[in-house]
Amino acid sequence: MTRIASPHASSRFVPSRRGLLLGAGAALLARPALAQSWQPARPVEFIVAAGPGGGTDQFARIVQSIVQKHNLMRTPIIVSNKGGGAGTEAFVYGRGAAGDPHKVVFGTNNVWLMPLVTRVGYGLADLRPVASMAADEFILWTYTDAPYRTAKDLVEAARAQNGTFRMGGSQARDTDHILTKQIERATGVTFTYVPFRSGGEVAIQLAGKHVEANTNNPAENVAQWRAGRVRPLCVFNPQRLTLTEKVHDGVGWSDIPTSTEAGIGPADFRMPRTVWLPARTTDAQAAFWTELLSRVRETPEWKAWLQAGSQGDLWQTGAELASFIREDEATNRAHFREYGWLVEQG
Amino acid sequence: MEGLPALLHGFEVALTAYHLGLMVAGVLIGILVGVLPGLGAPNGVALLMPLTFFMPPVSAIILLSSMYWGALLGGSTTSILFNIPGEPSSVATTFDGHPMAKQGRAAEALSLAFLCSGFGALAGVITITIVADDIAEFALRFSPAEYFAVYLLAFCAFIGMGGANPLKTAVSLLVGLSLATIGMDTVSGEMRLTFGQDELVRGISFLVAVIGLFGIGELLATADETEKVEGIRARVRLAAVLKTLVELPRYWVALLRSAAIGIWMGLTPGGPTAASFMSYGIARRFSKRGDNFGRGEPEGVVSPETSDHAAGVSALLPMLALGVPGSATAAVMLGGLMIWGLQPGPMLFQDRPDFVWGLIASMYVANLVAVVLVLATVPIFASVMRAPFGLLAPLIMAICLTGAWMVSGSGFDVLLAIGFGVLGYLMKKLDYPIAPMVLAMVLGDKAEDAFRQSMLISQGNLTVFWSNWLVGSITTLALLLLAWPVLAWLLRGGVQLSRRPAA
Amino acid sequence: MSRPDDRLGGRRAAELGMALGAAGFGGVVVLGALQHDTGWGPTGPGAGYFPLRIGLLLIGVAAILALLQLRAAAGRFAEPGALRRVARLLAPTLVFGIAIAPLGTYVPMALFLLWMARVEARAGWPVALALALGTPAAFFLLFETWLGVPLAKGPLEEALGIY
């Protein structure tokens, strides 16, 4: 197979090398896709802050495939998964790559939430936010023949059970756990939160009635819903979902009441999907990636992916994104202090 | 059986020239990936994944699953010829496969391994065909307590039936369980046993450990024994294959038992690695030729190979039907499924019958293709063994260190692999079994999670492990296996156990 | 215990050392576990619950193994000269392994293979050079260009513009 590979070797690597040696100018002007003051000169690495298969992994890989399909960039893209320590491995790696604009990190809000709850080898200052591209919805689910018809019923049943009501979620002190805590804050009940490894596992456990509820993302539970094993109670979004497709028994995404309609809190809980560069990269380099991602966002493939997972469109960049992160971090810090989760609290 | 017309439709999907071409390509890449240590089936599938984005999902899954079968067979090849398992699941094949090769029976060992793999795969895919409609309901019964009981069963089976000194097996298992706790704790989100080191945050990869313990450790042990390794020549002639095929029915007990173990471990989340070990252990305990195990006994190749493949094949069923992967490779494929826009789950069988049954039909064909191809290409890989050890050892060492680097691109992992190599050498010299440690590293954190989830759900009540017939019988069986050495000692008047440590 | 060979490469000493090493590792696990909640925490059994018990069990089992060694028969751990052969393979490997992170995979690999082929295996220059240069080249083609897996790069690769 080495014989097959060798022509590729020369065609793939020599031009980029020559481009570098001759000075970037001539080579870059020839590129039609994006006229920018900075262009990647080497293969780019997309670092996924999750193992293969989950939502974050799909996020990075869909961006990669769109960039390649629409030829938005000349240099090849390598996707590598660094999901250790709930994604912190990727951010520590990003810290080590300070100043290198060829390393792009894909994560969620865990970038700024993980340092609050556990000892990690990086700080928020080690990464530069580029864009937030989507927001994953959270829905309260129960199994189909459960006695609760509405979210309110479920909360009252949990109140009566006095803390033994089993709420499944993926990972501890991660989004599902934070949302569970916020429901507790808003309603004054207590759940037994049972952490599993992934949303898929939680979906099965709910379908098998081993837990009584979960707060899975739409994509994680839709197959079980379609099979009629689980049903949604409310979505944690001020607006109802827009997708009108009927999933099971005449009920569809847009029929799910919002948490405010259902009379429980919090009113708004979503998870942004974010893209980062290492610290000490220049504004021009960040601008290149912002521009590239905004093009990705306009493609039909991207829209189809958002819709397939019932994810919301959330486009934030630059100062707007930075201030959103600051506020969200401060709010969560205050909440976590209340729960005793902060790392400095021990 | 309502599956039959669906299966016939599946064959229509699978038996196109394009899909047959994908099967051949997938199997060949798989054999290569399986032969190279450190680049196992999970990595291989992950590496090929980007190529599949623009294929129809059924073509993509046929390519990736064919690669998986090739990797399973490639792993067995290196186990037998070099005593280096290319895959964790082919570790048990080294125990008797390599001694057979050393005795000049390499061709017999290889054809036996491949034919048994084929048999195991066939048994697995027939099971899938039959139970596909009912499996989803059954697997939903698995709560954390059932999961924990299954893991406990795998651990206890090692101590009770592994054949090595039970105390040394226990040490190996406990070290593996300890290593598995390093890094982030799923339940509490805390960093454990990292002592402030960033390198330890992602935990210790069992792939790195396997490369060190088996690859590097074996090289050091070989250097210890002699400067020369007997050149194991393997040219698998058609006559040898046919002879083995004729002799195969002789092992019908082992074949059926191992296939059953493999299918069970694949459907439950035990996976091929645990299946092959359990099958080997049980064969060693119950076979009439049990005393020959470890010295080149053909049944010691038949048992793990059949189970390994049966489990690998049947592990795809819970992945499709439930989204719970039965093996590491199935877990990566599960990710692919979602990227291709499919929702794994019970409804996949109704919504996308062409996908599901195309895959199932392709498993019949691709496994046949894989066995034929691996028999044909073995001489290429075997010819490497004719090189002198002094040149071969550094070459394999370079492959091992590169493989360790590739696991996560970290220099620390390379040093860790060398450290595991020294440990593996010492364990080999002192008769500590290595396999339990690897199994414990793979299943350790899952077992711990399942235990803690069970305790949360039952509010700390241990009777949850006997709360229904399913979990109760698994737990009881596990404890009986654990007590087996003591029971055997009591039954035989306490002679056997006290002699064992010296052996 | 009387023969010098027994003291250096003695089986009993090695067994004892291995058992004590395992017990020591168990001790480290227990220490690590004690930094966490080892009882019942807010999310069930705490983070230290499992490691503490595993560590204590390990210490216990290893201690029994060590005690059993005291009445085991003495024997050889390794044949004379064997440990030397192991060290002559292990030491260059260790240097190679340490060099990968700063210098990349390719240069240390070529030097390692050249050393092993020339000095240890006493191969002729043509064979040694073919092994030392051919292997990294084959690795590059296989992994970097065909499979798309990046290997470690060092200053030489940087200077050549191969990334």
Q: Indicate which CATH number applies to the domain containing A53.
A: 3.40.190.150
A340 within domain boundaries = yes
Q: Are residues A145 and A195 in the same domain?
A: yes
- Cβ-Cβ contacts under 8 Å, C145 against chain A: 5-6, 8-9, 12-13
A285 within domain boundaries = yes
Q: Which helix (DSSP H) or strand (DSSP E) does residue B305 occupy? A: helix B299-314
CA distance A101 to A78: 14
Supply the pLDDT for residue A22: 37
DSSP for residue A102: T
List chain B pLDDT tens, one digit each, 503 residues.
456 788 888 888 888 999 999 999 999 888 877 776 545 676 677 667 766 766 788 998 899 899 989 988 888 887 888 776 766 678 788 888 888 888 878 888 888 899 999 999 999 999 888 887 676 677 678 888 988 887 787 788 778 766 678 899 899 999 999 998 998 776 776 778 888 787 787 788 777 887 788 778 878 887 887 644 444 555 667 777 788 888 888 889 889 999 999 998 887 656 677 788 888 888 888 888 778 888 888 888 999 999 999 998 888 887 787 666 666 677 667 767 766 767 676 667 766 788 888 898 998 999 999 988 888 887 776 665 556 778 878 888 888 888 788 777 788 999 999 999 999 999 988 989 877 787 788 778 778 988 999 998 888 888 999 999 889 988 998 898 888 878 877 777 644 444 444 33
Say how many CB pairs under 8 Å bridge B and C.
Answer: 186
List chain A pLDDT tens, one digit each, 346 residues.
233 333 333 333 333 333 333 333 333 333 444 456 788 887 788 998 887 666 788 888 889 888 988 889 888 787 877 877 778 888 988 998 889 999 999 999 999 998 998 877 889 999 999 999 999 999 999 999 999 999 999 999 999 998 899 999 988 888 899 999 999 999 999 999 998 877 878 888 899 899 999 999 988 888 889 889 999 999 999 999 988 888 998 999 999 999 999 999 899 999 999 999 999 999 999 999 999 999 999 999 899 888 878 888 899 998 999 999 999 999 999 999 998 888 877 5
**The domain boundary residue, chosen from A214, A234, A267:** A267
> How far is A171 from chain B, CA to nearest CA, in Å?
5
CA distance B314 to B321: 11
User: Within the 55-94 window of chain C, which residues sit less than 8 Å (CB to CB) from chain B?
Assistant: 55, 57-58, 61-62, 64-65, 68, 72-73, 77-79, 82-83, 85-86, 88-90, 92-94
DSSP of A305-341: HHHHTTPEEEEEEHHHHHHHHHHHHHHHHHHHHHHT-
Provide the domain limits for residue C109: 82-160
User: Which ipTM score applies to this complex?
Assistant: 0.92
Q: Are residues C87 and C149 in the same domain?
A: yes
Touching subunits for chain C (3+ Cβ pairs under 8 A) = A, B
Classify each residue of C46-74 as buried b or exposed e, where b means 16 or more C-beta atoms within 10 Å of its C-beta.
bbbbbbbbbbbbbbebbeebbebbeeeee
> How far is C136 from chain A, CA to nearest CA, in Å?
12
**The domain boundary residue, chosen from A239, A267, A295:** A267
Per the CB < 8 Å rule, is B414 touching C149?
no
Q: Does A85 touch chain C (CB under 8 A)?
A: no
Touching subunits for chain B (3+ Cβ pairs under 8 A) = A, C
Please give the structure tokens belonging to residue A29.
Answer: 């002007």
Q: In DSSP terms, which residues pair with A232 in a beta bridge?
A: A141
A45 within domain boundaries = yes
Nearest CB to B324; choose among A65, A85, A204:
A204
Chain B residue with the nearest C-alpha to that of C78: B224
CA distance C28 to B110: 43
Mean pLDDT of C112-135: 92
Q: Are residues A244 and A221 in the same domain?
A: yes
Q: Are residues C93 and C151 in the same domain?
A: yes
Provide the domain limits for residue A299: 37-136+271-345
Q: Does A195 touch chain C (CB under 8 A)?
A: yes
- The CATH number assigned to the domain holding A143 equals 3.40.190.10
Q: Does B352 touch chain A (CB under 8 A)?
A: no
Q: Are residues C89 and C145 in the same domain?
A: yes
Q: Are residues C149 and C120 in the same domain?
A: yes
Supply the pLDDT for residue B161: 64
Closest-CA residue to B236 (of B337, B349, B379, B366): B379
Supply the pLDDT for residue B200: 83
Provide the domain limits for residue B19: 3-502
Supply the pLDDT for residue A3: 32
Q: In DSSP terms, which residues pair with A89 in a beta bridge?
A: none
CB within 8 Å of B480: residues ≥ 6 apart: B160, B487
Chain C residue with the nearest C-alpha to that of A340: C42
> How far is A264 from chain B, CA to nearest CA, in Å?
25
Supply the pLDDT for residue A262: 94
Say how many CB pairs under 8 Å bridge A and C.
Answer: 40
Residues found in chain C: 163
Q: Are residues A117 and A223 in the same domain?
A: no
Q: Are residues C9 and C54 in the same domain?
A: yes
Q: Are residues A163 and A250 in the same domain?
A: yes
DSSP of A280-312: T--HHHHHHHHHHHHHHHHSHHHHHHHHHTTPE
Phi/psi for B364 (5° steps) reads -60, -50
Please give the structure tokens belonging to residue B155.
Answer: 């651990």
Q: Are B483 and B166 in contact (CB under 8 A)?
A: no
CA distance C92 to B232: 26
Total number of domains in chain A: 2
Total number of domains in chain C: 2
Q: Are B470 and B139 in contact (CB under 8 A)?
A: no
Total number of domains in chain B: 1
Q: Are residues C120 and C93 in the same domain?
A: yes
More confident residue, B105 or C67: C67
Q: Are residues A279 and A242 in the same domain?
A: no
**The domain boundary residue, chosen from C69, C90, C115:** C69
Q: Are residues A159 and A244 in the same domain?
A: yes
Q: Are residues A260 and A282 in the same domain?
A: no
Q: Are residues A258 and A169 in the same domain?
A: yes
Q: Does C119 touch chain B (CB under 8 A)?
A: no
